[in-house]
Structure 1
Amino acid sequence: MDCYATLILLFFGFSFSSCYRFPLRKYYYINTLMTWSDAQHYCREKYTDLATFESVDDFKRLKPDFSYSWAWIGLKDDPKSWKGVMGNDTNSWRWSATSKTSQTGYHNWKGGDPNSGGGKENCVIMGSTRGWHDVSCQSLKSFVCYTATNQNEKTYVFISASKTWHSAQAYCREHYTDLPTIENTKENSDVYSAKPGNAQAWIGLYRVPWTWSDNTQSSFRFWRSGCPDNYLGNQFCVVENSLHEWNDINCPYKFPFICHQVLRLRTMIKMKIQSDADLADPATNIQILKQLGAELTSKGWTDFNLQWKMQPRKQEEKKLGEY
């Protein structure tokens, strides 16, 4: 026999949609001098996190009485994720062919690299000694492409034409497989052997620097002219001025800072469910909520919680009788 129940579904969370941009954030200026790490800890304890900005519209949510020369925001390029290591964080080195971080952790950095010189060295060449060096992706270099066979073997070819890293990537993907992935000493030697010994050549290693403290995946940036520049090689945290222009600076310096609090939405949805199952059974309720959650996730909703309240059975039966 079919069972009917009217459920009041309580939805807590946010999503991304074409009509409204979530999450909405409320910003708080903290006029206390702290290092970037201490400011992050404070914001996570008192609010949600150090400030994340995803568009210029977010700047409008700062109160008019905000007044500061420089203040920390939540953007950082943690050198522990990329300096002399391969790492597995969002700002770590990745291979062009997979867009993923290294599987083996193998690397062959030379000459003090990588050092993010000038704050703009996010692509990698192989030099004359088999060693790797980070350089600007806009530099013009020759490069090596590879072709993968069905037997999982790779053949390498040297291209003498000078191109930027992204142009070299596009060329390799059009004519071969990709720029080379190097996960061990043998592959490093094979790529080296494919090029003239003194040539500098692009390989498939790159990274996307800077990550938000709350792990928001946003590429929005509002750098001050000439920034980031990683002056003296130690500027891995970001401050903004009263014009909302950003500058990279040493993380141990002390500045006031901006926190944000995510404003969550509470939505109530009334739905009628027909089922052979006992809808009053807690296990059935949990299963239905899981199915609803999976459906919402597939539609692009994120970071939400679902709860419901079931209307009393007598009240529901009375309403059904009225029809």
Structure 2
Amino acid sequence: MGFCATLFLLFFGCFLCSGFPLRHYHYVPLPMNWASAQSYCREHYSDLATFMSAADIQTLNADFLYQWAWLGLRDGPEPSDTWRWSSTGETSRTGYQPWRNGQPSDRTVENCVRMYRSGQWYDGPCNEERYFVCYSAEGGHHPRTYHYIELSRTWYAAMEYCRDYYTDLAVIENQEEISEVISSMTTPPSSSGFFIGLYRGPWTWSDMSQSSFRNWKTMSLVNFIGNGSCAVENHLHEWSYLPCEDKYPFICQEVPRQKTVLRMKVETEADLTDPAVNAQILQQLNAALTSQTGINFTLRWKVQP
């Protein structure tokens, strides 16, 4: 026999949809590193700035005292930790990465890896269409068998193809596997290289928003060796990235919080008096709302007498 209950769900969210309060941005002319700027914004406002669209950017009116100001967007904490295999979501177990000199070269739009017949790796845009290499898991002394696929696909489409017909895009952990990949080719590879399963983890916003909006400045990106990279904006609202330990002014956001009570009637075979069940329902609702809106919600049940 199933349980039926009427539940009241409290939404505490920073609502950005039409009809709800928008983000308000504040330029803070105090040079700080990214982490200190984040702490300042969280103490005095809501967080470092997140931008959802070009329209958001235009609402910021500020006299930039420096060339750059921090945003809430940052890359991984260490460059070596941001490259992961599509099949596991983890970094290389062996650390083997035969980059060509000067590679990887672009930490903004070149987030997928292509390989050439020489065995060298380059970073490149994920949305380009290239041939690719899948692998199938065998186990034993030869855990992976490679398959060179002569179909032009974006990196994401290639990954889906490999998962449908094999195991995943190629994982390569040593020079021997480089040789096996090359041996899998029945025809010479494309001169533009082919995709393997290595990708860079996405940039993330300080407030954990899911905004995919980016406004990178072209042809003027800064390359460096340091402990991570964080996004900056100039007076033209163009973005680049710099070492997170550098000190610049920054942009905070202030987002009005709004409470909404939603009445829900739930019918389920699960025991709704079980706290673990309620927690799981909240988790699933929160994930669905966040993925659909890009807005962070805090949810909790309101228990009625």
| TM-score range for the pair, normalised by the shorter chain length | 0.5 to 0.7
The equivalent residue for 1:76 is 74
Equivalent residues in 2 for 1:48-197, closer than 5 Å: 48-62=46-60, 64=61, 66-68=62-64, 69-78=67-76, 80=78, 83-84=79-80, 87=81, 92-96=82-86, 98=87, 100-102=88-90, 105-110=93-98, 115-119=103-107, 120-126=109-115, 133-137=121-125, 143-147=132-136, 154-158=144-148, 166=155, 169=158, 173=162, 176-177=165-166, 178-182=168-172, 187=177, 190-195=180-185
> In 2, distance between residues paired with 1:268 and 1:217?
24
Q: Distance in 2 between matches of 1:174 and 1:286?
A: 37
Could you say what the CA RMSD is over the residues aligned between the two structures, in angstroms? 4.7
TM-score scaled to structure 2, two decimals? 0.66
Q: 2:4 matched to 1:14? A: no
- Are the aligned partners of 1:43 and 1:260 in contact in 2 as well (CA < 8 Å)? yes
Evaluate the alpha carbon distance shift between residue 50 and residue 76 of structure 1 in structure 2; reply closer, same or farther with a 3 A threshold.
same
- Within 2, Cα distance between the matches of 1:127 and 1:295? 42
Aligned residue among 298, 303, 309 for 2:297? 303
TM-score by length of 1: 0.63
Kindly state the Cα deviation for residue 117 of structure 1 after the two structures are TM-superposed.
Answer: 0.8
Where does 1:205-284 land on structure 2 (aligned, <5 Å)? 205-227=198-220, 229-232=221-224, 236-268=229-261
Structure 1: 5+ residue runs without aligned partners?
274-282, 312-323
When residues 49 and 106 of structure 1 are mapped into structure 2, their CA distance, relative to the original with a 3 A threshold, is farther
Percent identical residues: 37
Report if aligned partners of 1:71, 1:255 keep a CA contact under 8 Å in 2: yes
Q: Which one has a bigger Cα radius of gyration?
A: 1
CA distance in 1, matches of 2:273, 2:169: 52
State the shift of 1:101 in Å.
1.3
1:33 aligned partner, one-letter code: P
Distance 1:201 1:220 in 2: 27
Unaligned runs of 5+ in 2: 267-271, 291-295
In the alignment, is the contact (CA less than 8 A) between 1:237 and 1:250 conserved in 2? yes
Give the secondary structure class of the aligned counterpart of 1:215: coil
Q: Is 1:293 matched up with 2:282? A: yes
